[in-house]
Amino acid sequence: MALQSLDIVRRSATTTRSPDIRQPPAGGGVAKLIDTTKCIGCKACQVACMEWNDLRDEIGTNIGQYQNPHDLSASSWTLMRFAEVENPKGDLEWLIRKDGCMHCSDPGCLKACPSPGAIVQYANGIVDFHEENCIGCGYCVTGCPFDIPRISKKDHKAYKCTLCSDRVAVGLEPACIKSCPTGALVFGTKEDMQQHAAERVEDLKSRGFEHAGLYDPAGVQGTHVMYVLHHADQPQLYSGLARDPKISPTVRLWKGVAKPLGVALMALTALAGFFHYIRVGPDETDAADEAAAQAARRNPEKAT
């Protein structure tokens, strides 16, 4: 879901430049900062996301934990993941992470998408799906280093968090930010968010979280959704947050060098045939061959 825009920096399956005549926004684009150390797991953000985007997931089942629904889906674009972790001191830590699209600066979904314009990246950093161009192949799921996009069982289109691109385009903050009661969710320019995170990290360190830090992974050239983590040295504690996310080398091969090389190989094979015909010519059966065949038929002993 997205608005028409002149601020597109990247467009899926497109080999020419996208409309990007406008100046890139100051401050490194927009960013959402999720401070896991302030999150109380109230799920107001999940509700706000459902409300703004008119999404109603199916009612699931209770499996004895707070995480609900159990996973992201085509109708649940954000999800509080609850991890119960026992720390080395033997204390229980309840690590709650709001999961959803990270809006990578180097988006694996966009790289993998074969349909022109089904995925775009705006100059402000938002990676957005245009479902009317989506063909439902699921390559975005294959390309994503964070396992975020989901293909709807209903319409076979891919869905994920839009970072409320429709709200942001008219100067509003995303719906989830609006709903957060503790200030764990903050929205602004990426530079401002990095600065705010640095203050938070300093505060956490002063209170004994020596490994506190900002999660803005360089492997995908940074993200426009960032986390403040108490244990930035062990992101996997937070329900398997990727330690060093990057577009898989397999996907890079498939969607990188293989494409032009493959097309060139096919074209060269066809051209080789064409020019063989032009230079060497056809291999024809002439009257002499027919005569030899007839002779062989009549007198096989001589036909060697």
Partner 1 sequence: MSATPQSADAGGPHPPATHSQDLIVRYNASERTNHWLGAICFVLAALSGLALFHPSLFFLSNLIGGGPWTRILHPYLGLAMCLSFVFLASRVARDNRMQPKDWQWLRQYRDVIENREERLPEVGRYNAGQKLVFYAVVGCLTLLLLTGIIIWRVYTTGYFPVGVVRLGSVLHAIAALILICTIIVHVYAAIWVKGSVDAMTLGTVTPGWAWKHHRAWFREIMGHATNPRSRAD
CB of 2 to partner 1, least distance (A): 18
| Cβ closest to partner 1, residue 72 vs residue 163 | 72
* Stretch of 56-64, 68-76, 187-195, 267-275 lying at the interface with partner 1 (CB under 8 A): 267-275
Cβ(201)–Cβ(228) below 8 Å = yes
Q: Is 291 in the site for partner 1 (CB under 8 A)?
A: yes
230 to 259, contacts with partner 1 by CB under 8 A? 248, 250-251, 253-254, 258-259
DSSP string for 180-216: -SSS-EEEEEHHHHHHHHHHHHHHHHHTT-TT-EEE-
Q: Is 265 in the site for partner 1 (CB under 8 A)?
A: yes
- Bridge partners of 229, per DSSP, are 213
Site size toward partner 1, by CB under 8 A: 53
* Stretch of 47-55, 86-94, 171-179, 269-277 lying at the interface with partner 1 (CB under 8 A): 269-277
Among 25, 69, 136, 188, binds partner 1 (CB under 8 A): 136
* Stretch of 59-67, 201-209, 230-238, 296-304 lying at the interface with partner 1 (CB under 8 A): 296-304
| Cβ closest to partner 1, residue 19 vs residue 262 | 262
Among 1, 198, 218, 296, binds partner 1 (CB under 8 A): 296
CB of 218 to partner 1, least distance (A): 21
Report long-range pairs for 242-247 (Cβ below 8 Å, ≥24 apart): 242/145, 242/146, 242/217, 244/217, 244/219, 245/102, 245/104, 245/145, 245/146, 245/217, 245/219, 245/220, 246/106, 246/145, 246/217, 246/219, 246/220, 247/106, 247/108, 247/111, 247/143, 247/145, 247/220
Residue 104 — left, alpha, or beta (φ > 0 → left; ψ -120 to 50 → alpha)? Answer: beta
Measured CA to CA, the distance from residue 177 to residue 156 in angstroms comes to 29
Cβ(225)–Cβ(102) below 8 Å = yes
Q: Is 206 in the site for partner 1 (CB under 8 A)?
A: no
| Cβ closest to partner 1, residue 134 vs residue 212 | 134
Tell me how crowded residue 136 is: count the other CB atoms within 10 A of its CB: 14
Q: Is 114 in the site for partner 1 (CB under 8 A)?
A: yes
| Cβ closest to partner 1, residue 142 vs residue 189 | 142
Report long-range pairs for 210-219 (Cβ below 8 Å, ≥24 apart): 212/37, 215/241, 217/242, 217/244, 217/245, 217/246, 219/145, 219/244, 219/245, 219/246
Gyration radius of the chain over CA positions: 28
* Stretch of 30-38, 215-223, 225-233, 273-281 lying at the interface with partner 1 (CB under 8 A): 273-281
CB of 131 to partner 1, least distance (A): 11
Q: Is 61 in the site for partner 1 (CB under 8 A)?
A: no
Which parts of this chain interact with partner 1 (CB under 8 A)?
Answer: 13-15, 114-116, 133, 135-139, 141-142, 147, 151, 156, 248, 250-251, 253-254, 258-260, 262-263, 265-266, 269-270, 273, 276-277, 280-287, 289-294, 296-297, 300, 303-304
